[in-house]
Chain A
Amino acid sequence: MPERRFEHLRWPLDQPVVDIDELVVGGGERLVLFGPNGSGKTTALRLMAGTIGGDRPDGVAYLPQRPYFFRGTARSNLELGLDDVERGRALELATEFGVSDRLDVAARSLSGGERMRVALARTLASSADIVLLDEPLAPLDHRDREHTATTIAAALHGRSAVIVSHDRTSAAILGDSLAVVVDGQVRQRGRIAEVFTTPIDDVVAGVVGISNVLSGVATTGDGALVEVEWQGRTIVAAGSQTTREKVKVLFGGEAVAVHRDLPDGASPRNVIGGTISDIRTVGRLLEIVVDCGDPVAALITPGSFETLDLHQGSAVYLSVKAVAMTAVSVGDAE
């Protein structure tokens, strides 16, 4: 897949709210532009799409934040701007997004979530090699989000995407890398797990919060708890998955307990060993980052930190209750 270089993302020219010299995406990367409201994510995406700023790059499909439906049926809007091959694909995608039975109604009678899914089907059906999506999960019910995210991932089919999100969970399930946008500039860019656990400064830390994202594969589950293979281990998380599929396990640093020795009593499955790679102050607490294959962040009080005699490079065990971890589906396992 070709690399795409977006240059001089600057708008408005006199007093820029967005000022990014260069943003390169490629290699099937799903880059989430993440940041608080008003940070300039949407403006940056519009500049990449060329709906502002003058440059109209080829080979870019773009889903605006509030997709507009023109007079006519959902179907006529679904097919708008697509060639015959793309139309066929759009119909298949409409089926996968669960809106194929709504295509013959007037577009304006669709609900917000239905509109977003029709617009997603149209955008993803395009044969453009870069896909730009602005908050694609925002109007959806929580229960629809995982399925929609999975369908988006499958429909991208190895193409690169830039996805705007202000919501951590959506960012985590949609993307594989993250660019934190603050005041119109990219403050940090890296793999999602990396940025969420090791923000480069307190501004990024404030924006992303502290969170852990472990990418694994669900194996079996009973509908409430699911076993997830991650870094050669099996961990148990809350999740409704019952069959083999890719998941991300999300949990906050406050849910992680730190031990020097293998703890008694705790379910041995969710005990993870590693070495401390970083120690930071977060308000009155300390945050330690433990390298367990993936980085895992844990919040700890200064008192415990003293008692446990922790240092950079210390070997520790982390334990997390299964119910404190949420497994979200992100696609079929290979």
Chain B
Amino acid sequence: MDFLFDAFGEAADFLRDSSGELGAVVGLTLLVAGIATVVAVALGVPLGITLGLGRFRGRQVLLTFVNVGMGIPPVLVGLIVLMILWSDGPLGSLDILFTPTAMVIVQVFLALPIAAGVTAGAVSSLSRDAVEQLAALRLGTVRRGTVVVREVWPGVTAAIAASFGRVVSEVGAVLIVGGNIKGETRVLTTAIVQETRQARFGAALALGLVLLVIAFIVTGTLTWLQSRERTDA
């Protein structure tokens, strides 16, 4: 029992003492996860709407890919992206391996199927009458997209929350393509792994609590947005 109390004590000390370094790690975590979520949602929500509404050739195949992608092991995605960005790989000349850019890329691959899949699920729950009305109105692609997003807004916020949750908590892929380089590519999850390996449980616990707070704030904000939209119409 004392061991656990000590760990919490150390965690408190860690948070008090290492504010500068911690700030950099938190900042990079938010930046990488934030950009990855924005890109994944910007691509995935329109894809999800197309999959949810559409009756086109190849829809079933695409939907299968999305569903598989939602559950794909992050380390595998990390490995594939690593090999592509490796100096001898197809995109090795870009020289972005072990940079935050590589981490954003790998996280977009992880979050995109989730954004698309959750959105497609919400859109395909639209009633037949709603789909018929959409077809009857002959809206432009963008206008139609905004009408649908508004209509399935709780589903879209769930897609955003799930995408952010996946990337902010993910460790395997960012560790592989980022390398956990202190001051350059270290984020909260890779830092937790680092501290744990070195048996600095207090520090690891502190970092975990910070991660929890971030997840709580982001998800809480999205939940608030979700319910607000629901009450106004």
Which A residues lie at the B interface, using CB under 8 A? Answer: 46, 49-51, 56, 62-64, 66-68, 70-73, 80-81, 106-108
Contact = CB atoms under 8 A, between A and B. Distances in A.
Interface string B125-147: 00101101111111100010001
Given A56-B138, A70-B151, A80-B147, A64 B233 contact: no
A106 B233 contact: yes
A263 to B, nearest CB: 54
Contacts of A72: 150, 233
26 contacts: A46-B132, A49-B135, A50-B135, A56-B138, A62-B136, A63-B136, A64-B129, A64-B132, A64-B133, A64-B136, A66-B129, A67-B129, A67-B133, A68-B130, A68-B132, A68-B133, A68-B134, A70-B130, A70-B133, A70-B151, A71-B151, A71-B153, A71-B229, A71-B233, A106-B233, A107-B233
A53 to B, nearest CB: 11
Nearest to B144: A81
Contacts of A56: 138
B151 A51 contact: no
A56 B135 CA distance: 9
Contacts of A51: 132, 135-136
Nearest to A126: B138
Contact of A81 (B130, B132, B138): B138
Which secondary structure dominates chain B's binding surface? Answer: helix
Contacts of B139: 80-81
A81 B137 contact: yes
Nearest to A49: B136
Contacts of A70: 130, 133, 147, 150-151
Q: Could you say which of B130, B133, B135 has the most chain A C-beta atoms within 10 Å of its C-beta?
A: B133
B55 to A, nearest CB: 9
Contacts of B233: 71-73, 106-108
Contacts of B138: 56, 81
Interface in B100-145: 127, 129-130, 132-139, 143
Nearest to B134: A68
Nearest to B135: A51
Interface residues of B, number: 18
Contacts of B229: 71
Interface of B: 127, 129-130, 132-139, 143, 147, 150-151, 153, 229, 233
Contacts of A50: 135
A108 B129 CA distance: 14
Contacts, number: 46
Contacts of B143: 81
Nearest to B229: A71
Contacts of B136: 49, 51, 62-64
B225 to A, nearest CB: 14
Q: Which of A49, A56, A67, A71 has the most CB of B within 10 A?
A: A71
Contacts of B147: 70, 80
A273 B129 CA distance: 51
A68 B150 contact: no
Contact of B137 (A46, A80, A106, A108): A80
Contacts of A64: 129, 132-133, 136
A169 B229 CA distance: 43
A56 B138 CA distance: 9
B213 to A, nearest CB: 32
Contacts of A67: 129, 133
Given A68-B130, A72-B233, A80-B139, 16 more contacts: A46-B132, A49-B135, A50-B135, A51-B135, A56-B138, A63-B136, A67-B129, A68-B133, A70-B133, A70-B150, A73-B233, A80-B137, A81-B137, A81-B138, A81-B139, A81-B143
B47 to A, nearest CB: 21
Contacts of A46: 132
Instruction: Please provide the 4 A-B residue pairs with the shortest distance between their CB atoms, ordered closest to farther.
Output: A68-B133, A51-B135, A81-B137, A71-B233
A265 B167 CA distance: 92
A107 B150 CA distance: 14
B135 A68 contact: no
B146 to A, nearest CB: 10
A49 B132 CA distance: 10
Nearest to B126: A68
A223 B124 CA distance: 53
Contacts of B132: 46, 51, 64, 68
A67 B150 CA distance: 18
A312 B135 CA distance: 53
Nearest to B148: A70
B129 to A, nearest CB: 4
A201 to B, nearest CB: 34
Contacts of A107: 233
A70 B137 CA distance: 12
